[in-house]
Structure 1
Amino acid sequence: MTGERAARAGRWPAGMRLAVTTLTVLPVRGGRVDRPVAAVAMGLAPLIGALLGVVLAGLNEGLRALGAPLLVAAGITVAAGALFTRGLHLDGLADTVDALGSYRSGPAALEIMKKPDIGPFGVVALAATVLIQAASIAALGWWPIVIGWTAGRLAISLACRRGVPSARPGGLGAMVASTVPTLAVVSVAAVVLAAAIPAVPGRPWQGPLAVVVALGAVLLLLRHCTRRLGGVTGDVLGACAELGTTLTLITLTLR
């Protein structure tokens, strides 16, 4: 019994390490990796997103204070966000869009997703995402940026909730798919919604609405990927993160 209790307690530090090593470039020493640890890691994804958001918002504000034009500061911020995550989420977005844009299903679509090159659908998706994120950041303050990156990583928790299958028997998707309890996702989402209330001064509803819009779109993407691909992959998780971040930022800019 003592050993079982110790194993459960050990999931949290191991899960935090896995979340950091999976979602950032920080050189954290690896540890225990299994599905219980993956559940903790994917449940903590919004926290990692919030920390990334704070760093990026600080970078953006610092560049503005130094006199950089708003769009230049925003472009550097988006580039830094890609650097801090190894570009994995953007790569996942491109691969997912290429696979879905091929109009193929099942193994044929997954094979397209595995190819190292990027097709025209993926190129357009990358360009549009980077441009939209930069333009949105140029129009926003520091807290909306934090909310944007937090919501994007909340999308990963949502994609890893129980009931969402893995498209492949192996890989990152198989490790983390269907690991996060739905109640945990709902609880974390409630915290993020509350944190989003002050994102737009004078409009306390707009921040939570931005998160809801983003998560709604992510649910539609997950439904489509489950139908076409059979479930989620690591690339699909990256696509969910970028979609969630981008739509949150867009909605926060609306006046």
Structure 2
Amino acid sequence: MLTAVPVPAVLRVTPAIATGAMVLAPLAVLPLGAAVGAILWAGTETTLPPLAVAVLAIAALALGSRALHLDGLSDVADGLTASYDRERSLAVMKSGAAGPAGVVAVVLVLGAQAAALASYVDDVRSAVVAGALVCAARAALWITCASPVRPARPDGLGATFTRRVPGWWTLLGWAGLAAAATIVHPWRGPLAVGLAFLVVVVLVVRAARRFGGVTGDVFGAAIELALTTMLVGLAGAV
């Protein structure tokens, strides 16, 4: 669900497995974070423009996750703009087709990520920070799957993984990320993490009002928005 890296199949997702999967989500994408960091670091040793290196890193990230989260971002954007009717919005999101709003959302988010990542093509430290942010962005699932958040449908990823992450873990986990971010920059680090937290909370609240809860698409949108916010927030500060 989080990467294209092959792992043994889980035939039955119990509540304990669902909780563990969401809590450990940032660790699950370590291979993708390492790939992004390696590409950015390699870019510093070439004459390629930083923006071109950043695009390559984003392409590797999309390939490593099968663009699943970008698909979620597209579907959520289409669902929010399709109709004020809950059932109509959910049907649009489930259709799988990308509408105008979805395409624009993906283009804008990928453009922001590429522009921000270009500033991380500088040295080893910058590359490591970028890879770490890829992992940290998956902490968005600690919010979308927090115990107070309800699913929009009785089936699907939303029903399986929502309400599995304890609220105390969500708050402490994000506080820990903010504290760790001070290593990158004393005030911009925590600020970037805090803004990412607020962006995901706003998305979840909006989804709850429009869709009646969250879906797997909201999970993906939350991850992409969290990553974009942190990359932009720390661009040039590493």
- Shared fold by TM > 0.5? yes
- For the residues of structure 2 that align with 1:50 and 1:145, how far apart are their CA atoms? 12
The DSSP-based 3-state class of the residue aligned with 2:164 is coil
3-state secondary structure, aligned to 1:117? coil
Q: What is the match of residue 102 of structure 1? A: 82
CA distance in 1, matches of 2:206, 2:62: 26
Tell me the residue number matched to 1:23. 2
Of 155, 175, 178, the match for 1:170: 155
> 1:90-146: per-residue Cα shift (whole Å, max 9, x none)?
000000000001232321110010112100000001111111101100012224313
- CA distance 1:251–1:77, change in 2 (3 Å): same
Rounded to whole Å, the distance in 2 between the matches of 1:73 and 1:64 is 9
- Shifted more, 226-235 versus 186-195: the winner is 186-195
Structure 1 position 210 matched with structure 2 position 195: no
TM-superposed deviation, 1:57: 1.1
Matched, 1:58 2:43: no
Q: TM-score normalised to the size of structure 1?
A: 0.86
- Tell me how far apart the structure 2 counterparts of residues 26 and 86 of structure 1 sit (CA, whole Å): 10
Q: What is the match of residue 251 of structure 1?
A: 233
SS of the counterpart of 1:139?
A: helix
* Residue 185, structure 1, aligned to residue 170, structure 2: yes
Structure 2: 5+ residue stretches without partners: 121-125
2:221 corresponds in structure 1 to: 239
Aligned positions of 1:1-255 closer than 5 A: 22-31=1-10, 32-140=12-120, 141-200=126-185, 204-253=186-235
Deviation at 1:49, TM superposition (A): 4.1
Aligned counterparts of 1:250 and 1:179: Cα–Cα separation in 2: 30
Q: Is the 8 A contact 2:3 2:29 kept in 1?
A: no
Flag as ranges the 4+ runs of structure 1 deviating above 3 A: none
CA RMSD of aligned residues (A): 1.5
Identity percentage of aligned residues: 39
Relative to structure 1, is the Cα distance of residues 238 and 93 closer, same or farther in structure 2, using a 3 angstrom cutoff?
A: same
- Gaps in structure 1 of 5+ consecutive residues: 1-21
Q: Which moved more, 1:160-169 or 1:30-39?
A: 30-39
Structure 1 range deviating more: 104-113 or 229-238 = 104-113
Aligned length, in residue pairs? 231
Cα displacement (A) at 1:55: 2.4
Deviations 1:45-76, CA, capped at 9 Å, x for gaps? 12234553232111211133133220110000
The structure-2 alpha-carbon separation of the partners of 1:47 and 1:188, relative to structure 1 and needing over 3 Å to count, comes to farther
- Does the CA contact (< 8 Å) of 1:46 and 1:157 recur in 2? no
SS at match of 2:183: helix
